[in-house]
Structure 1
């Protein structure tokens, strides 16, 4: 046999061995897979319905990367079960005259939306007291009365924050960085709450309903004027003096007044009374009544603070008690002035 023939013979034997080895390995692998298939435990299959309900909210967006189209969102919001619920809630809120249900539901909605502002101006217990005030106000005077109180709260909170660092350094800032507690809320709204209750239960009949509404607005004009004059006076007052003897005293002294604070308080009462007029709660002559009553009441509050507050025997006369007296004076004065004006016109 030649050398070439021997070489090809060796190659042929090697190829046959390699082919046979591949076949053996293939058979062994197939046998292994077969054993795994036979011995592996059966996994129970998850049974899903062939068709899922089209109204399922989880199927509105099968692709979480892409936003849900507006049409699908509106389709979900207008589901048959949601429409009557939303419609019923809107009917309750728009009840005329207002009901307790509409008052509670409206306040819940507004307080949830306005939580950041409420937290900035009130403590947790103060928010609870404000919720009761808002519910009572809505029940008595509807949305216009509530908007008036909301305007008072926003303006009062804003001026309290003016130059807070400076007031804190001087020790004349409100506690908790101006966040009012339940005592402050009740002291600022006691007279208004009385007017609201008188309105709800129709005390005095329709002839007095207008008077209770005027007293309600006058009480908040009085309190806002007092708050603004005090806070602006602490922040910008150049000279502060006691109203009883015109003695110059440091800023923040009880009963002290300043030109800057007095002017700011007057403008604040005019602003809130004008808001009440624009909301249809009072007329133009009654705006003037609210402003005059608030300024007389604030003068009386300054006299009480300078003469009695902090003195021996009057320790009970704290800021909350003085607030109640102050706003009560403004409320009563407004009602009496309106009665006198009506009698004079007759």
Structure 2
């Protein structure tokens, strides 16, 4: 699936490149490919990304710099570097969590899909609200990653968000004081940096922060509701079942975080 997404968005990138209104944007896209390639290759060499993850990161990074410029690239790099820094799965994660440190292509797209969609929308419609939505996606992904990685290191006091029953650290849908605090700090960090580099009004900080926290909570709720109980959903039209994997839950939560920020931006900021 990640390879199909790579092919689809590479095609879209070519279309955007050809139809770009000015050569500056075309150069940004080309430079985005170069910079994303360098950082993704370094992440692969250091064990942070798998081969598929590297190619997916190049595509996402190309859009981040090509359409969002260096400012959005800085925010995205802050997410990636901080996430790698707080990750220590081999030592801390629970037994039911994968011990593989390398992030695959689907994991990259789970956090980057809505980022790319909102950046394309911001370019096509020339609407700043979609840029705010893209930043909220990054903030949501960072908050969730920090909550998961740091919260999993809590030896006890982890509770299922739906029932508040005590569970093992790292359990899908589990929340803890340490994990929640980490999520809040991450949301503040990304929101603050975003407002600073883009010179937004302080109200944008509040809505990105609120969207990130809500998106993170929704991620935990969906994890408890579906992943913890191994539940699936049957689609009425095609009569097919959808299994809620961690990647799907991340995609939904980051999308909700971004859409909430867009809505708040349109009506209140």
Q: Secondary structure at the match of 1:246?
A: coil
CA contact (8 A) 2:114 2:258 kept: yes
Aligned equivalent of 1:185, options 72, 90, 108: 108
CA separation in 1, counterparts of 2:245 and 2:107?
11
Match of 1:93?
A: none
Counterpart for residue 7 of structure 2: none
Q: In the aligned structure 2, how far is the partner of 1:158 from the partner of 1:98?
A: 34
Indicate which of 77, 88, 91 corresponds to 1:166: 91
Q: Deviations over 1:124-156 (max 9, x none)?
A: 111110100111111211111111111110011
What corresponds to 2:76 in structure 1? 149
Deviation at 1:260, TM superposition (A): 0.2
1:294 deviates by: 1.1
Q: Scaled by the length of structure 2, what TM-score is found?
A: 0.81
Instruction: Give the corresponding residue for 2:267.
Output: 340
* Mapped partners of 2:163, 2:40: distance in 1: 44
In 2, are the aligned partners of 1:191 and 1:219 still within 8 Å (CA)? yes
Q: Is 1:313 matched with 2:239?
A: no
Distance in 1 separating the partners of 2:140 and 2:24: 26
* Aligned match of 2:120: 197
* Distance change in 2, residues 1:275/1:254 (3 Å): same
- In structure 2, which of residues 256, 263, 268 is the aligned counterpart of residue 329 of structure 1? 256
Q: Which runs of 5+ in 2 are unaligned?
A: 1-21, 234-241
Asked if the contact 1:229/1:264 (under 8 Å) is kept, the reply is yes
| 1:300 maps to 2:239 | no
**Post-superposition offset of 1:114:** 6.6
Q: How far did 1:200 drift?
A: 2.4
Q: Distance in 1 between matches of 2:209 and 2:96?
A: 27
Tell me which moved more, 311-320 or 141-150.
Answer: 311-320
TM-score (norm 1): 0.64
Contact kept in structure 2, 1:237 and 1:258, CA below 8 Å = no
How far apart, in 2, do the equivalents of 1:296 and 1:287 lie? Answer: 14
**How far apart are the structure 2 equivalents of 1:312 and 1:193?**
29
- Matched residue SS, 2:200: coil
Q: Residues 296 and 138 of structure 1: is their aligned pair in 2 closer, same or farther, counting only changes over 3 Å? A: same
- The separation in 1 between residues aligned to 2:76 and 2:232, in whole angstroms, is 34
Deviation of the 1:316 alpha carbon: 1.4
Residues 148 and 328 (structure 1), Cα distance of their counterparts in 2 relative to 1, 3 Å cut: same
The answer for the alignment partner of 1:112 in structure 2 is 38
Residue of structure 1 in register with 2:168 after alignment: 250
* Counterpart Cα distance in 1 of 2:28 and 2:188: 30
Q: How many aligned residue pairs are there?
A: 239
- Aligned 8 A contact 1:214 1:282 in 2: no
Measured in 2, the distance between the counterparts of 1:282 and 1:173 equals 38
The answer to which structure, 1 or 2, has the higher relative contact order (CA under 8 A, 6+ apart) is 2
Aligned counterparts of 1:228 and 1:187: Cα–Cα separation in 2: 16
Choose the corresponding residue for 2:60, options 128, 133, 143. Answer: 133
- Which is greater in Rg? 1
